[in-house]
């Protein structure tokens, strides 16, 4: 079955808001062996919405539409669809009751604006929305299924999980199984990976996509076949072939973020970790604690943004900060050692640098970052000069590099800056 | 001029990767008074790419295409366009030279895979790519301009800024001026805002979009007119009308994130801030330090993820943690007071809670968060029960709420939980 997605909203085309529902839906379709054909974004404009319906109907049997179901005047989706399909709008008292109840629970009267949400095209079915006032709608037009869902991401996701995926699996006739495996790599450029991979003879039914998520590159292996066991085997073999060629550059075979790969390493070896951050200001600790269960190995961290706190909390001497500066090899080492000693963690990692956009000098330009690691064996440190694309990019690269350093230290691999 | 955007890549339709270039381009077009018509995502498939070209040509004069210019075998864009437009591919030695140079600088031989990047359709112009190997291409077909750019976000953005926007402004004939103002609100539901706004009589040329970015809702006001001064005035008046109605619920008139609005308040009043985080694990400090110049008011923070560090670094007594638990009003207050005293900051804010997905109990379910603030006037604290949609959502809501609490405390506004 061919499925396409349409997101409606001026805010998506003006660039104010990033459309995120399509990615979630595509992910869930993939996991169910269903395929997304096109994803289209159109504005809050009746004529554009109709053009979009027309285009997507050509190639797709099912069209999933997100947005424009709200109570405000720019929400047009249902009205336009009814006109497009030549269907009358009817008042659905069961929707109104639920809306009234939601407001009653908050001791509020239903705002007048919400009343239009109870109007649905004749013959359409209601898709329950447990999290908001806008219900979803399923309608059929010219042998095409249209599923309308609210654009609010939390509501959209819940309804995709609870209703859309089961419904599409029910409607799909040619049930194929998709096997997927995503290898994540760090440290090789895309073309370097491609060159190494060109030496491998892969099964012709294996599909490989390169996904640069700088500084990482992911390799997504997939096979879509009637026979599930065969699809799984093809993907498994492909992953083994790639691992044999790319070796330690593959840090995860299960599409795991670096912070999870590092977390697992720490957990499996019974090691604990602490952080000391200056320019990343908590980003590294935030990444580590994005992982559920990180309290098993992450003890905590020090965000010593001011020099005063570097001295007071981490004992980095005022003389050192004066002589070498807060962005220096010596300061990074002192931070890492103090974080290790104060937290009693097995490993401590410290980051100090110039995230920009201002604050750079000729000797210490924006993007200069020192990362240090201290463990029982002693301290290690290295200078990095990241491309100063943006403050966010420098911070992101510094935090990712710190994670890679922890990984390499635990595994005893060559550290950045060391000769091979 | 009508402009549409096409992003090409299987990874976008499989849900593995979120398409982000379209949003950036749309943003830049908006700011230049240019309008995006449709944004479309298609897979790495020749037939689908051609279907996409056909659709977008109907309604748009200029089509900007992202992705599929890389060195790997799934990169088809230029090949397919040449076939579609009936143009031969020619070898461009000046591209090859630049690619060779990039590899030479890294002491590498150019991988064989990169050679196909030097093939361009006959008559096309090269758009320089200062950051990567894939050049951009400008081609004309049937009176439509096609601009092809690499999909790597850093490269795409740089080329949009340096080349695409100036080129489109050159090509555009009906130059209108767009005036935009985005008000950000916190604390009212969408329909509550709509009801209050329905009392206002706005200029009919003012366009208002509701952008829910939960827990915030943004209101984007815009006017697109020949006369720039008039457009600006319409938007300015609209913003004043809304502010008079929504009052303190508007926390920024300049589309600023809460962390910037709070940062400006701190800076203008000469106040300093410190954080103490448990369940958010550095997310709040990360947000605060996302802002360039935050070192003017943000001193640093304590991430006391383990109970041991809560006791050792913040002096939260082991007895208190035993009797009331780490997720308790008392623990939050003790953390905030200690962070204030240890850092000598004017204001300290502490967060402790259960982010989930596990770790919840009947008395202390996932989503339960205590937030405390300590300043010279004393300590304040409050219990919050957030909907446990996900670990990320609980952490995000906790951090956002903490920022709103700082804002309300500084401004002397009613605090959460206080009667109005």
Q: What band does B420 get if pLDDT is binned at 50, 70 and 90?
A: low
Among all residues of chain B, which has the CA nearest to that of A394? B290
Q: How many residues does chain B have?
A: 420
pLDDT at B99: 87
C-alpha A216/C-alpha A407 separation (Å) is 14
The residue written with tokens 């908006």 in the block is B30
Please check whether the domain covering A177-252 is classified as CATH 3.40.190.10. no
| Segment 17-46 of chain A within 8 Å of chain B by CB | 17-20, 22-30, 35-44
C-alpha A284/C-alpha B286 separation (Å) is 9
C-alpha of B204 from chain center: 30
Q: Is A26 helix (H, G, I), strand (E, B) or coil?
A: helix
Mean pLDDT, range B31-43, rounded to an integer: 90
C-alpha A352/C-alpha A402 separation (Å) is 11
pLDDT at B15: 83
Mean pLDDT, range B102-129, rounded to an integer: 88
Q: Is A82 helix (H, G, I), strand (E, B) or coil?
A: helix
CATH 3.40.980.10 location in chain A: 2-171
H or E element: which one contains B169? Answer: helix B165-171
**Over the stretch A119-160, which tens digit does the pLDDT of each residue have?**
999 999 999 998 887 889 999 999 999 999 999 888 999 999
**Nearest residue, CB atoms, B195 vs list A12, A111, A305:** A111
Q: CB-based contacts of A346: which residues, under 8 Å, 6+ apart?
A: A271, A272, A273, A375, A376
Token pair recorded at residue A104: 């009653």
**Nearest residue, CB atoms, A301 vs list B191, B282, B292:** B282
C-alpha B232/C-alpha B181 separation (Å) is 9
- Identify whether the C-beta of residue B65 lies closer than 8 Å to the C-beta of residue B8: yes
C-alpha A388/C-alpha A365 separation (Å) is 9
- Identify whether the C-beta of residue B384 lies closer than 8 Å to the C-beta of residue B368: yes
C-alpha A264/C-alpha A258 separation (Å) is 10
pLDDT at B418: 84
**Over the stretch B244-285, which tens digit does the pLDDT of each residue have?**
999 999 999 999 999 999 999 999 999 999 999 999 999 999
Task: With beta carbons under 8 A apart, name residues in chain B contacting A315.
Answer: none
pLDDT at B133: 77
C-alpha A49/C-alpha A53 separation (Å) is 6
Q: What band does A174 get if pLDDT is binned at 50, 70 and 90?
A: low
* Beta carbon pairs, A and B, within 8 Å: 314
C-alpha B103/C-alpha B53 separation (Å) is 34
The residue written with tokens 């446990």 in the block is B388
**Nearest residue, CB atoms, B113 vs list A9, A108, A195:** A195
C-alpha B2/C-alpha B35 separation (Å) is 6
C-alpha A6/C-alpha A77 separation (Å) is 11
pLDDT at B226: 86
Within 10 angstroms of residue B319's Cβ, the number of other Cβ atoms is 9
**Residue A315 in contact with partner chain B when CB distance is under 8 A:** no
Q: CB-based contacts of A263: which residues, under 8 Å, 6+ apart?
A: A288, A291, A293, A294, A297, A298
CATH 3.90.950.20 location in chain B: 258-411
Q: Which ranges of B186-257 does DSSP label H, i.e. alpha helix?
A: 190-197, 228-246
C-alpha A291/C-alpha B65 separation (Å) is 36
**Over the stretch B186-232, which tens digit does the pLDDT of each residue have?**
988 888 898 899 999 999 999 888 877 878 999 989 898 889 899 99
C-alpha B252/C-alpha B26 separation (Å) is 22
H or E element: which one contains A23? Answer: helix A21-31
pLDDT over threshold 70, residue A420: no
**Residue B14 in contact with partner chain A when CB distance is under 8 A:** yes
Token pair recorded at residue A388: 């100063």
Token pair recorded at residue B286: 């990360």
Closest CA to A151 of B392, B213, B7, B216: B213
**Hey, what CATH class is B2-171 in?**
alpha beta
**Over the stretch A182-191, which tens digit does the pLDDT of each residue have?**
999 998 888 8
- Identify whether the C-beta of residue A372 lies closer than 8 Å to the C-beta of residue A381: yes
pLDDT at A35: 86
Among all residues of chain A, which has the CA nearest to that of B110? A191
pLDDT at B330: 97
Using CA atoms, how far residue B239 sits from A38, B180, B205, B235, in Å, is 38, 10, 14, 6
β pairing state of B347-353 and B368-375 = antiparallel
**Residue A416 in contact with partner chain B when CB distance is under 8 A:** no
Within 10 angstroms of residue B388's Cβ, the number of other Cβ atoms is 17
Q: What band does B174 get if pLDDT is binned at 50, 70 and 90?
A: low
Using CA atoms, how far residue B311 sits from A345, B125, B172, B335, in Å, is 15, 65, 64, 9
- Identify whether the C-beta of residue A25 lies closer than 8 Å to the C-beta of residue B15: yes
- Residues A183, A185, A191, A194: is their CA dihedral positive or negative? negative
Interface test with A, best of B4, B14, B359 (most A CBs within 10 A): B14
**Over the stretch A250-271, which tens digit does the pLDDT of each residue have?**
999 999 999 999 999 999 999 9
**Over the stretch A373-399, which tens digit does the pLDDT of each residue have?**
999 999 999 999 998 778 999 999 999
Q: How many Å lie between the alpha carbon of A420 and the closest alpha carbon of chain B?
A: 15
| Segment 102-121 of chain A within 8 Å of chain B by CB | 108, 111-114
Q: What band does B54 get if pLDDT is binned at 50, 70 and 90?
A: very high
pLDDT over threshold 70, residue B61: yes
Cross-sheet strand order for the sheet of A177-186: A207-213, A216-225, A177-186, A250-252
Tell me which DSSP letter residue B111 carries.
P
Among A180-184, B178-182, B245-249, B374-378, the minimum mean pLDDT is found in B178-182
CATH 3.30.70.2860 location in chain A: 177-252
Q: CB-based contacts of A361: which residues, under 8 Å, 6+ apart?
A: none
**Hey, what CATH class is B258-411 in?**
alpha beta
Q: CB-based contacts of A196: which residues, under 8 Å, 6+ apart?
A: A188, A245, A246
Which residues are bridge partners to B2 per DSSP? B35
- Identify whether the C-beta of residue B17 lies closer than 8 Å to the C-beta of residue B9: yes
Inter-chain touch B282–A290, beta carbons under 8 Å: no
Q: What band does A362 get if pLDDT is binned at 50, 70 and 90?
A: very high
Closest CA to B401 of B377, B390, B419, B417: B417
C-alpha B141/C-alpha B148 separation (Å) is 13
Q: Is B338 helix (H, G, I), strand (E, B) or coil?
A: helix
Q: Is the peptide bond before B215 cis (omega within 30 degrees of 0)?
A: yes
Inter-chain touch B289–A280, beta carbons under 8 Å: yes
Q: Which residue has the higher pLDDT, B281 or A17?
A: B281
Inter-chain touch A281–B299, beta carbons under 8 Å: no
Q: Which residue has the higher pLDDT, A165 or A7?
A: A7
Q: b/e per residue, A116-133, with b = 16+ CB within 10 A?
A: bbbbbbeebeebebebbb
pLDDT over threshold 90, residue B172: no
C-alpha A163/C-alpha A167 separation (Å) is 6
**Residue B353 in contact with partner chain A when CB distance is under 8 A:** no
Q: b/e per residue, A296-332, with b = 16+ CB within 10 A?
A: ebbbbbbbbbbbbbbbbbbebeeebbeeebbbbebbb
β pairing state of B119-121 and B89-91 = antiparallel
Q: CB-based contacts of A41: which residues, under 8 Å, 6+ apart?
A: A6, A7, A8, A9, A12, A13, A19, B22, B38, B39, B40
**Rounded to 5 degrees, what are φ and ψ at A167?**
-65, -40
Q: What band does B16 get if pLDDT is binned at 50, 70 and 90?
A: confident
What are the E-state strand segments in A142-294?
Answer: 144-149, 177-186, 207-213, 216-225, 250-252, 273-277
Average predicted confidence (pLDDT) for chain A:
92
Closest CA to B54 of B120, B142, B147: B142
β pairing state of B136-141 and B125-127 = antiparallel
The residue written with tokens 């539409």 in the block is A65
Task: With beta carbons under 8 A apart, name residues in chain B contacting A108.
Answer: 192
């Amino acid at each position: 079955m061919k499925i396409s997605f349409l997101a409606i909203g001026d805010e998506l085309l003006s660039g104010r808001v990033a459309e995120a529902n399509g990615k979630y839906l595509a992910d869930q379709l993939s996991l169910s062996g269903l395929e997304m054909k096109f994803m289209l974004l159109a504005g809050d404009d009746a004529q554009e919405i109709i053009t979009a319906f027309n285009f997507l109907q050509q190639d797709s049997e099912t069209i999933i539409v997100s947005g424009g179901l709200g109570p405000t005047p720019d929400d047009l989706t249902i009205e336009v669809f009814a006109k497009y399909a030549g269907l009358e709008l009817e008042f659905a008292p069961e929707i109104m009751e639920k809306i009234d109840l939601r407001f009653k629970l908050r001791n509020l009267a239903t705002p007048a604006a919400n009343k239009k949400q109870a109007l649905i095209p004749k013959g359409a079915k209601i898709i329950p929305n447990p999290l908001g006032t806008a219900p979803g709608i399923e309608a059929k037009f010219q042998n095409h299924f249209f599923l309308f869902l609210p654009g609010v991401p939390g509501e959209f996701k819940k309804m995709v999980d609870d209703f859309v995926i089961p419904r599409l699996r029910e409607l799909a006739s040619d049930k194929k199984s998709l096997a997927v495996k995503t290898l994540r790599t760090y440290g090789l450029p895309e073309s370097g990976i491609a060159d190494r991979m060109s030496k491998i003879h892969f099964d012709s039914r294996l599909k490989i996509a390169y996904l640069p998520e700088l500084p990482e590159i992911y390799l997504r292996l997939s096979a879509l076949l009637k026979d599930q066991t065969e699809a799984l085997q093809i993907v498994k073999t492909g992953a083994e072939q790639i691992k044999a060629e790319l070796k330690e550059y593959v840090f995860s075979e299960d599409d795991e973020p670096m912070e999870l790969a590092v977390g697992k390493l720490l957990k499996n070896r019974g090691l604990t970790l602490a952080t000391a951050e200056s320019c990343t200001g908590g980003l590294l600790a935030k990444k580590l604690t994005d992982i559920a269960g990180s309290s098993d190995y992450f003890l905590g961290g020090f965000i010593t943004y001011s020099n005063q706190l570097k001295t007071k909390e981490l004992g980095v001497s005022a003389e050192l900060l004066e002589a070498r500066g807060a962005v220096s090899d010596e300061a990074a080492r002192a931070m890492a050692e103090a974080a290790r000693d104060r937290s009693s963690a097995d490993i401590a990692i410290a980051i100090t640098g110039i995230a920009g956009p201002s604050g750079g000098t000729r000797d210490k330009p924006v993007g200069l970052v020192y990362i240090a690691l201290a463990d029982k064996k002693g301290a290690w440190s290295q200078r990095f000069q990241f491309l100063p694309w943006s403050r966010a990019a420098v911070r992101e690269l510094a935090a990712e590099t710190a994670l890679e350093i922890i990984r390499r230290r635990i595994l005893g691999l060559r550290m950045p800056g060391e000769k091979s």
